[in-house]
Structure 1
Amino acid sequence: MTALVAVAHGSRDPRSAAVVHELLDVVRALAPSLDVRGSFLDLSVPLLGDVLRGAYADGHRSAVVVPLLLGKAFHARVDVPSAVADARLPGLDVTIADVLGPDPRLESAALRRLASVGVRSRDRTLGVILAGAGSSHAPANALVSSIAARWAAGSGWAGVEAAFAASAQPDVPTAVARLRAQGARRIAVASWFLAPGFLPDRVTRLAGPDTIIAPPLGPDPEVAELILHRYHSALTTDLARTA
């Protein structure tokens, strides 16, 4: 069977890798016959190239790399293909799946995380920030902004604003100010991050001590289903291309 090799960005914060592994445990529970392996691009181990070489050594001759990335920014467009090429395994047929976002299952997971910290819809006293990492690749930021706009239209909150931890505007304090101007008396932050780490912590600091902070998407069953969907879609596309 073709191995599923998930690859996350990686972080010096050990909580990040721990949550990625928890998420992959959910994937394994949903597909117990599938060989699911976790890897990272940088800062955490094992690295993607090492995991691909391990899959080959264990007898696999094909693998699907599923990027655990929420948008198609630099890491997806450049780093993942480069890491696969650097592994230099001509005997292993590697297909790179699409990134996780956009997909309604990610939005559902983010809303569930908000609900887990007591946030409810139709609360006109509440303003919500959808906080993402931020990218120099404008379409990746536009994805987060489009989700925030959709939530604003249907949630019944005082307002919803996108904000970014780095590399893009608006930043978190700007989003807070915009929501206050719309009448929000309380602020909650929805996480557009897969796992904890430096940037989610930065969002928390900038949001202020009285802000309600939802946890990252983490080991959510729908996120795990989405990983499997990306895997199977890549397999189907690859089979159609070679047929």
Structure 2
Amino acid sequence: MTPATLLAVAHGTHDPAGPATVRALLDRVRALRPGLRVAEAYAELASPSLEEAVRQTRGPVVAVPLLLARGYHALIDIPGRLQEACGSRVVTVARPLGPHPLLSEALADRLAAACLIGPSSVPDGDSQDRPEHPFAAMPGGPGRLGPGRSLPRPARPGIAGASLAGMGLAGVDAVVLGAAGSSDPAGVADVRAAARLLTRRLRRPVRHGFVAAGEPGLAEAVARLREHGAERVAVAAYLLAPGFFHDRMSGAGADLVSPPLGAHDAVARLVLRRFDEARARTGGWRSPREMAGRAAR
């Protein structure tokens, strides 16, 4: 019997750093499980499309949406297009990646690394021009400081406390989880859950904010924290890859925006976990209705 192919389906972006980041992540997946057939696809804006990728595979397909929350693409678009493209072939659609504690691990690492690095002129995704940089190989590039911002001194004890300092965030008073956003209530709920998981990881409250659909907006969330005394606000970018949404986060008024999750080892492990969960599920095809009826975990 032909072994199943892990078809990783990302959202897609016009930014060439986006697909490069996805490929770096899938290289980590292959390294963690040698011999596994892994293919990439994009829901929009990049190639190969979902349909093109399916035509290039054979045998059973387990599609893993490289999405961090439920929404249109995870619940309707990807399952529907796969069902049509695969025809009589066995196809299973895994849950989206988030929310999950492994993503919180990756978020905390990216945020801490960004705080240690500080500002950089290296464009997002560019890891070749400065090999001496301690995080040069980190897809998404180093974190960004907001215009006119700096992180020169430790966080104020009454706001951030020792826990943020212990995570390498000594120059940060408050953290906001920045997400793209969704008009689907399930997607908004998933981002809230992700913020709670990051709260546990950092042992300090983490607010959330959106740069597209959903409330509150990221700029509003940052402004509220400043009103309550937070001088230095960092955004943990709840994004897989660089692109339009990460650019918008940089303009939300925070002092620092972490790089996207990228090819973090915890994300690669989560991709494999979702693949294994989907393969173990009986019945093969999982309908969009069933996916919408179960909360992502």
- TM above 0.5, one fold? yes
Q: Which residue of 2 aligns with 1:18?
A: 20
Contact 2:63/2:92, CA 8 A, preserved across alignment: yes
Q: Which residue of 2 aligns with 1:78?
A: 76
Give 1:238 deviation, angstroms. Answer: 3.0
Q: Which residue of 2 aligns with 1:121?
A: 164
Contact 2:70/2:96, CA 8 A, preserved across alignment: yes
Contact 1:194/1:218, CA 8 A, preserved across alignment: yes
Q: Alignment identity in percent?
A: 38
The farther-off stretch of 223-232 and 175-184 is 175-184
1:47-97 deviations in Å (ceiling 9; x for gaps): 1111111112xxxx211011101111111011101220331432x211111
The farther-off stretch of 111-120 and 125-134 is 111-120
Alignment of 1:17-166 (within 5 A): 17-56=19-58, 61-90=59-88, 92-118=89-115, 121-122=164-165, 123=170, 126-149=173-196, 151-152=198-199, 155=202, 160-166=206-212
Task: Provide the C-alpha distance between the structure 2 equivalents of 1:87 and 1:73, rounded to a whole number of angstroms.
Answer: 21
| Runs of at least 4 residues off by over 6 Å | none
Give 1:206 deviation, angstroms. Answer: 2.0
1:102-154 deviations in Å (ceiling 9; x for gaps): 21001110111001112771459611110001101122112222333454577
Higher percent of residues as helix: 1
DSSP 3-state at the match of 1:207: coil
**Counterpart pick for 1:177 among 182, 201, 223:** 223
DSSP 3-state at the match of 1:128: strand
Contact 1:124/1:184, CA 8 A, preserved across alignment: no
Task: Provide the C-alpha distance between the structure 2 equivalents of 1:103 and 1:149, rounded to a whole number of angstroms.
Answer: 10
Task: Provide the C-alpha distance between the structure 2 equivalents of 1:239 and 1:31, rounded to a whole number of angstroms.
Answer: 25
Q: Which residue of 1 aligns with 2:154?
A: none
Task: Provide the C-alpha distance between the structure 2 equivalents of 1:5 and 1:40, rounded to a whole number of angstroms.
Answer: 10
Cα distance change on mapping 1:205 and 1:25 into 2, 3 Å: same
Amino acid at match of 2:96: V
The alignment's TM-score, normalised by the length of structure 2, stands at 0.73
Task: Provide the C-alpha distance between the structure 1 equivalents of 2:199 and 2:229, rounded to a whole number of angstroms.
Answer: 14
Task: Provide the C-alpha distance between the structure 2 equivalents of 1:222 and 1:154, rounded to a whole number of angstroms.
Answer: 14
1:190-222 deviations in Å (ceiling 9; x for gaps): 0110111101111111225xx111001000111
Cα distance change on mapping 1:146 and 1:89 into 2, 3 Å: closer
Task: Provide the C-alpha distance between the structure 2 equivalents of 1:66 and 1:152, rounded to a whole number of angstroms.
Answer: 26
Contact 1:53/1:89, CA 8 A, preserved across alignment: no
Task: Provide the C-alpha distance between the structure 2 equivalents of 1:125 and 1:221, rounded to a whole number of angstroms.
Answer: 25
Amino acid at match of 1:173: A
DSSP 3-state at the match of 1:162: strand
Contact 1:41/1:83, CA 8 A, preserved across alignment: no
Contact 1:10/1:17, CA 8 A, preserved across alignment: yes
Contact 2:237/2:259, CA 8 A, preserved across alignment: yes
Task: Give 5+ residue unaligned stretches, structure 2.
Answer: 117-162, 286-297
Contact 2:8/2:40, CA 8 A, preserved across alignment: yes
Contact 2:104/2:198, CA 8 A, preserved across alignment: no
Cα distance change on mapping 1:154 and 1:25 into 2, 3 Å: closer
Amino acid at match of 2:190: L
